[in-house]
Amino acid sequence: MVDMNKTTVRKRLLEQRAKLPHEQILKGSQGVIELVRTLAEWKNASEVLIYWPIKGEVDVRPLITELWQRNCRVLMPRCRPDAFGEMDIACAICEDELTPGPFTIMEPDAEKCPALETCQPDMALIPGVCFDRRGYRLGFGGGYYDRLLASDIMKNTVTIGLGYDFQLVEKLPVQPWDMAMDIICTEEELWRP
Ligand code: ADP
Ligand code: MG
């Protein structure tokens, strides 16, 4: 069964990432960040959907700081308390506006940062458990980004999946709702499917 397969791959890759020593996370993240900075899409972006890393995900916090310094709009997803698997998008102007959400992921504080009805992210940096060379992504299994990327808000957004080299494989099991990325970036390469 396809879904069994996803579960198996997810488990294996999550275990592998959990074993990464801190220095390797740091070094890998620095490599990924350097490559992201070479993208014209990054240089020209004024509104970027980004994430706060958990569980050894590529640490993009230096990029968040850079966006704030560049006066770009930093958009981050926020889990909707009333709807499983759904996320709103909100804009935070500094780290003080972030607060831990349901999965202890830092997200824009609902009291300070309203959910945006409309916004136009030029690019989205997206964490993942695994990516394949067709652009497909495996997440934690909630389908959060699949739903978000299917929304109208994201239709002109360049999507970039971020992971370490071992997280990029030839072919993942996919299901009809899985959304593909435009670019995958690891510390070793920028891959355009
Ligand atoms: P992940 O992408 O996090 O690895 P899956 O692709 O396995 O997880 O999706 C998890 C669940 O999310 C699936 O049961 C699927 O039905 C649901 N899902 C994904 N995208 C959508 C969508 N656009 N609308 C409704 N349900 C969705
Ligand atoms: Mg999916």
Domains parsed from the chain with CATH numbers: 6-186 (3.40.50.10420)
Query: What value does the mean pLDDT take over residues 99-107?
Result: 92
Give me the percent of the chain exceeding a pLDDT of 90.
95
Instruction: Quote the CA–CA distance of 164 and 53 in Å, as a whole number.
Output: 13
Predicted structure pTM score: 0.96
Ligand 1: which residue has its CA nearest to atom 9?
143
Regarding beta strands 137-138 and 130-132, do their DSSP bridges make them parallel or antiparallel, or are they unpaired? antiparallel
pLDDT band at 102 (very low <50, low <70, confident <90, very high): confident
Site to substitute for ligand 1 among 103, 146, 153, 167, most atoms within 8 A of C-beta: 146
Residue type, 191: W
- Is residue 106 within 8 A of residue 78, CB to CB? The reply is no
The length of the chain in residues reads 193
Q: Which listed ligand is nearest to 85 at the C-alpha?
A: 1
Ligand 2 centroid–CA 126 distance in Å is 12
Query: What value does the mean pLDDT take over residues 2-20?
Result: 90
Residues whose CB is less than 8 angstroms from the CB of residue 115 and which lie 6 or more positions away in sequence, other chains included: 78, 88, 89, 90
* The ligand 1 atom nearest the CA atom of 178: 6
Q: Which listed ligand is nearest to 144 at the C-alpha?
A: 1
91 φ/ψ angles, rounded to the nearest 5 degrees: -110, 125
Cβ of 86 closer than 6 Å to ligand 1, yes or no, is no
Q: pLDDT of 56-77, one tens digit each? A: 999 999 999 999 999 999 999 9
- Token readout for 109 is 């504080």
Q: Which listed ligand is nearest to 136 at the C-alpha?
A: 2
Site to substitute for ligand 1 among 8, 11, 87, 177, most atoms within 8 A of C-beta: 177
Q: pLDDT of 161-183, one tens digit each? A: 999 999 999 999 999 999 999 99
Ligand 1: which residue has its CA nearest to atom 12?
143
Instruction: Quote the CA–CA distance of 1 and 73 in Å, as a whole number.
Output: 42
Cα first-last separation, the chain: 26
Q: How many CB atoms lie within 10 A of CB 20?
A: 15
Partnered with residue 160 across adjacent β-strands are: 125, 183
- Is residue 186 within 8 A of residue 32, CB to CB? The reply is yes
Rounded to whole angstroms, the maximal C-alpha distance in the chain is 47
Query: What value does the mean pLDDT take over residues 9-27?
Result: 97
Protein residues within 5 Å, CB atom, of ion ligand 2: 146, 178
What is the per-residue pLDDT for 139?
A: 98
Q: Which of 171, 153, 159, 149 is nearest to 124 (CA)?
A: 159
What is the rounded average pLDDT for all residues in the chain?
96
Instruction: Quote the CA–CA distance of 17 and 23 in Å, as a whole number.
Output: 13
